[in-house]
Structure 1
Amino acid sequence: MSENRQFSRSQSESGQRGTYTAPLFSTTVLLNTPMSNGYSLLRLSCLPELFPQTTSTLCFIFIDKQLLAVMQVFPQQSAVEVLCLENARYQRGTEHKARFISIPIPTIETTAIPLFIAEDIYIGALVFFLQQQGLQRLRTTQSLCLLYTNQYFPFNQRPSLIHCPAMPHGVIGAMPLLDDWGIVSRLASEQELIGCYEGHISHLLRYYLNEQNKFSTDYRYHLYCIGSSELSQRVQQDLTLLTHPKVVTFTNLIPKELQQFQA
C-alpha cells in the first residue's frame, strides 16, 4: 500500500504480529442507527487508503478516547461501521478526530476446532473477524462463539436454532446474527438474562470443554480471545483448571499495544 509509510508499527508480544496506527484524521458521522440496550451502529467516513489490504485484519477506530470495533467496511463509500455504546455526541453530520488502528491476525487453524470469546464492544470485532475467515468454512469446523457482557448485549438474545451439546441446562440464548449465519453462539452475563449463563464466560468455557472431554479426549481446540487484557488473563487462568488442559491452544488477538487505547 503506497501510504504504509504513514503508519506507526509496534510489535506484539509474539513478535510476529504488530499494531498499525494511522495519524489523526477527520471523520464525519454518516449514520447513527440505534440498536439494543443503548448501543448504536455508527457509519463513519474514512480515508480509503486506511482500509486493510488483507483479509486477516482486525480494525478499530479510536475516537473521543473510545476504542470502537469496526464491524464492516465500505470501500466504495469510503466508510466504516463501528459498534458504539456512548452515542449521544455522535449525531449525523457531526465531525470528529479519530485514529484508524489495524491488527494483523493469524489464519484459523484447520487442525483444531476453533473457539472464539468476545466481550461487549469487541463483539463487533468478532463479527468482522468471522466474515473475513469465511462463514461456510466455520460452519463445517464445529466452531463455537462465546459472548460475554457485564451488563447487556448490543442485541436482544433469542433461543438458538442450532443445537450445542455440553452446555449447562437452559443456556440456549444466542446472538441472532450468528444464528442466522449458521454459526453456533452461546452467551454469558453477570446479569440474570434469559437463556444466558449467569457468571463469567471463562466458567462457561471450562464447563463446556470438560463436558466435551467426557465424550472424547481426542478433540483439539484453538481458542481465540477478542477482548480486554483482563478477559484474556481470566480465561487463561481458567484453562489451567481444565481436566485435560493440553487439548486447548490459546491465542489473544488483541496485542498489548492496544491497551493504551483501552479506557
Structure 2
Amino acid sequence: MSESNTGLAAAGAQPHARASGGVQSLERAFDLLEVMADAGGVIGLSRLAQESGLALPTIHRLVRTLVDLGYVRQEPSRQYSLGPRLIRLGESASRLLGTWSRPYLAALVDALGESANLAMLDGDRVVYVAQVQSKQSMRMFTEVGRRVYPHCTAVGKAMLAHLPPSDVQALLGRSGMPAHTEHTITEPARFAEEIDRVRAQGYAVDDGEQEIGVRCVAVSLLGTSNRLAVSVSGPAPRMTPEVVERAVPLLRQAAENLADVLNVNRSSDADRVAG
C-alpha cells in the first residue's frame, strides 16, 4: 500500500553545470536522457533541442549513438523514447538507493513510531524506492516500485514544490489530476496555492488525499541529481498535528543526511573513474 494506502533536470531546465575535466560528449548524452525522462520519456527532436540548448546536428549524432546502444529508441511517430536497456540500470540503482536510505528511514521509525518512505519523481509519476515499516500492528505499507500520481501524495507535493511553476503546470497537464478521495485537490489553481504553501513552509502534507484516514508528511531532498523525498505516514488519529510538528525537523535532518550520502557516493564513484 502506498504512503497513503493502507494494508524532473526539470523540463525546460538547461543542462547542469559540470566540473571541468569531464568528457563533454558523455555529459551531453546524459543531459539528453534526463531531458527525455523529465518530458515523460518520449520527446521530439525540436523540443529536445529547445530543452537541452544543444544544436540539432549534435543532438542527431548523440541520439543516433544512444539508439544504436539501446538506451534510446525511435518511435513510429519519429519521436524518441527512453530505451529498454535503461531498465536494468535503473533497477540496480534503485536497489542501491534503498540500501543507502534504510538506516535513515529506520531512525525515523524508531523516533516517531510510524512507517517511513523514500520516493523519487520519475517522469510524471512518483515511484516508491524504499520503506521501513512501523512496528505497530496497524501500519502503513508501501509496495516498493509502486507508481502514483504526485498531486495527491505528500512526497509528490514536496518534490513539485522545487520545480518551476511552469514545469509543474506542464507535468499536471500531461498526467491529469484524478480524484482518489473527496479530499484530493483536482483544480490546478488550488493546487498551485498548495504548492506555494509547501514551498513556504518547507514540507508537504497529504491529509487523506490518497486514502481516507491516512495522513503523511514529507520533505524533499535538496542538492541531489534526482528528485527525492522522505516521508512518514500513519493512521490520521495517530498522525496528530503534534506528531507532524515533531516529524518535520526529523525529516529535514534525514533528508539532509541522505542527500550528503548520495553526493558522497557520487563523488567517490567519479574519483574512482578518474583514478
Same fold judged by TM-score > 0.5? no
State the TM-score, normalized to the length of structure 1.
Answer: 0.34
Higher-Rg structure is 2
**Structure in which a larger fraction of residues adopt strand:** 1
State the TM-score, normalized to the length of structure 2.
Answer: 0.33
